[in-house]
């Protein structure tokens, strides 16, 4: 029998049975998304390696990566408004199911010998259109089902989902790419999406979303989300911070593939990515098991500084084992950073506006990735890599530090990215609006505990 979640009432008014029921529903949704993310990771890794094999250019890798992100990012506000007007679980089913259509089309085209960079970009962009529906609905449904005390642990589990994508997928994709090629990778991803849709359909039938009304029009909802962000400076600053982090992440995500492949092989690249993601798994599980407390601003500053140091160290290293070790440490910084930002933002957003605001926040934060994808490839291929080839302009001065070779300029670029992260870590604790949000979260948590 279908049940209605307690999301229509304030979390402090939920009964113990309602809290437990919401947690069980969240865990089912989390398991479904975990399956989907592993499949997505297979395709992301496989396409990056496939394109670099075919072209030998970092720019081509960046173009495919940007095509996978740009449509979903630009349409994220639309998905957020939809998440506040319709059944969020149903939207997640439609988003996952329809995004598989692009993969099916790409599989058919590759089978028929049609696989240029432009074709790959078009197919992955089509699938990305529907992530604009799924992602805001997924984030907003957390607030439907959980209490504020559970947000941090839920954030850790969500981070574990992303970590599993990087942990499991590269190792599997590396083997599949080495033995069978990109087509089998795509088939496995499509199969995982089918499993995810089936699991989400089960949740949708048993745990219904609250009935949502639409007293205002679409553009009124969109404008209200913009107005909310404009009126809450602290949340906007948090999203700008995340945008900076995603900008730096975009460089690493795009350039690690050519840097490691030039030093070793595709199989080693898969192993490095998988080992690195163990750091994210460890940190995510620790957050899921142990509560982080309420001093999230400290976590943000420390995580940013540590991330900057490890990114710079990856840039200097020329040994693949060292690169893997520093990547492991870098990934350990992401769960506390992302969870702290999400907890601070979520605690300041009313549930009835979660969808539209998360959609806008997704647009703001993901623009960092888009910017990095747009400039990282051309910067590496056209500027930094030529500086550190054997006869490059900086080979004599910086060659002893970074080494020389076709992709050692990427190392210099990563050092600059690391310096940017460290500088941000020094500035962020001085932002008054973010400190105010943290103080509000502490008060909200104390009030909720007093109700228990």
DSSP 88-105: HHHHHHHHHHHHHHHHHH
Q: pLDDT: is 375 or 16 the higher one?
A: 375
Q: Is the pLDDT of residue 252 over 50?
A: yes
pLDDT of residue 128: 80
DSSP readout, 411-444? HHHHHHHHHHHHHHHHHGGG-HHHHHHHHHHHHH
Mean pLDDT, the chain, integer: 79
Measured from the Cβ of residue 205, the count of other Cβ atoms closer than 10 Å reads 11
Q: For CA atoms 122, 125, 130, 134, give the dihedral sign.
A: positive
Q: Which fold has domain 3-206+218-451?
A: Growth Hormone; Chain: A; (1.20.1250)
Alpha carbon 95 to its chain centroid, in Å, reads 17
Top mean-pLDDT range of 45-49, 93-97, 291-295: 45-49
Q: pLDDT: is 352 or 303 the higher one?
A: 303
Q: pLDDT: is 54 or 358 the higher one?
A: 54
Least confident of 109-113, 180-184, 244-248, 438-442: 438-442
Q: Is the pLDDT of residue 48 over 70?
A: yes
Least confident of 26-35, 291-300, 323-332: 291-300
**pLDDT 10s digits, 253-280:** 888 888 888 888 778 888 888 888 888 7
Whole-number Å distance between alpha carbons of 256 and 265? 12
Whole-number Å distance between alpha carbons of 402 and 395? 9
Q: Is the pLDDT of residue 376 over 60?
A: yes
Whole-number Å distance between alpha carbons of 121 and 68? 7
Q: Is the pLDDT of residue 312 over 90?
A: yes
Mean pLDDT (whole number) for 188-207: 78
Mean pLDDT (whole number) for 21-38: 80
Q: Which pair of structure tokens corresponds to residue 60?
A: 């081509």
Mean pLDDT (whole number) for 397-401: 88
pLDDT of residue 244: 87
Whole-number Å distance between alpha carbons of 389 and 25? 55
Where do the domains of the chain lie? 3-206+218-451
pLDDT band at 445 (very low <50, low <70, confident <90, very high): low
Q: Which helix (H) or strand (E) holds 204?
A: helix 182-206
Q: pLDDT: is 273 or 432 the higher one?
A: 273
pLDDT band at 9 (very low <50, low <70, confident <90, very high): low
pLDDT band at 322 (very low <50, low <70, confident <90, very high): very high
Mean pLDDT (whole number) for 198-220: 64
- Helices 182-206, 148-179: crossing angle, 10 deg rounding: 150
pTM score, whole prediction = 0.70
Least confident of 211-215, 235-239, 357-361, 401-405: 211-215
Mean pLDDT (whole number) for 320-345: 87
Whole-number Å distance between alpha carbons of 142 and 209? 11
pLDDT of residue 451: 55
pLDDT of residue 314: 93
CA distance from start to end of the chain: 29
Measured from the Cβ of residue 409, the count of other Cβ atoms closer than 10 Å reads 28
Q: Is the pLDDT of residue 319 over 60?
A: yes
Q: Is the pLDDT of residue 410 over 60?
A: yes
Q: pLDDT: is 91 or 304 the higher one?
A: 304
Q: Is the pLDDT of residue 221 over 80?
A: no
**pLDDT 10s digits, 162-176:** 666 777 788 888 888
pLDDT of residue 79: 66
pLDDT of residue 326: 94
Counting runs of H as helices and runs of E as strands, what totals does the chain give? 18, 2
Q: Which pair of structure tokens corresponds to residue 321?
A: 């084992």
pLDDT band at 6 (very low <50, low <70, confident <90, very high): very low
């Amino acid at each position: 029998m279908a049940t209605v979640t307690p999301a229509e009432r304030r979390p402090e008014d939920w009964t113990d049975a309602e809290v437990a029921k919401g947690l069980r529903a969240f865990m089912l949704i989390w398991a479904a998304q975990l399956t989907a993310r592993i499949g997505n990771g297979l395709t992301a890794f496989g396409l990056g390696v496939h394109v670099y094999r075919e072209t030998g250019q970092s720019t081509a890798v960046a173009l495919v990566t940007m095509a996978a992100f740009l449509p979903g990012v630009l349409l994220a506000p639309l998905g957020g408004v939809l998440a506040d007007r319709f059944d969020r679980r149903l939207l997640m089913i439609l988003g996952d199911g329809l995004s598989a259509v692009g993969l099916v089309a790409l599989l058919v085209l590759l089978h028929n010998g049609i696989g240029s960079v432009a074709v790959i970009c078009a197919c992955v962009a089509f699938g990305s259109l529907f992530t604009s529906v799924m992602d805001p609905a997924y984030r907003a449904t957390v607030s439907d089902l959980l209490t504020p005390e559970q947000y941090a642990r839920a954030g850790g589990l969500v981070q574990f989902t992303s970590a599993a994508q990087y942990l499991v997928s590269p190792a599997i994709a590396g083997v599949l790419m080495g033995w069978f090629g990109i087509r089998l990778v795509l088939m496995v991803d499509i199969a995982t999406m089918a499993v995810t849709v089936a699991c989400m359909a089960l949740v949708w039938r048993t745990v219904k979303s609250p009935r949502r009304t639409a007293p205002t029009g679409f553009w009124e909802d969109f404008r209200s989300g913009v107005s909310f962000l404009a009126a809450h400076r602290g949340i906007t600053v948090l999203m700008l911070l995340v945008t900076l982090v995603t900008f730096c992440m975009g460089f690493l995500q795009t350039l690690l593939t050519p840097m490691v492949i030039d030093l070793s092989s595709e199989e080693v690249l898969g192993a490095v990515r998988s080992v690195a993601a163990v750091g994210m798994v460890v940190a995510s599980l620790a957050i899921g098991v142990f509560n982080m407390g309420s001093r999230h601003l400290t976590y943000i500053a420390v995580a940013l500084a540590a991330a900057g140091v490890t990114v710079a160290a990856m840039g200097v290293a020329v040994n693949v084992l060292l690169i893997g070790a520093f990547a492991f440490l870098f990934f350990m910084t992401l769960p506390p950073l992302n969870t702290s930002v999400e907890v601070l933002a979520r605690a300041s957003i009313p549930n009835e506006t979660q969808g539209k605001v998360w959609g806008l926040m997704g647009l703001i934060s993901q623009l960092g990735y888009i910017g990095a994808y747009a400039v990282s490839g051309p910067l590496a291929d056209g500027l930094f890599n030529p500086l550190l080839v054997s006869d490059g302009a900086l080979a004599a001065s910086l060659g002893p530090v970074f080494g020389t070779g076709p992709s050692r300029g990427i190392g210099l670029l990563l050092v600059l990215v690391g310096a940017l992260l460290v500088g941000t870590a020094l500035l962020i604790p001085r932002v008054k609006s973010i400190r105010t949000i943290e103080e509000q979260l502490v008060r909200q948590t104390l009030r909720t505990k007093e109700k228990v």
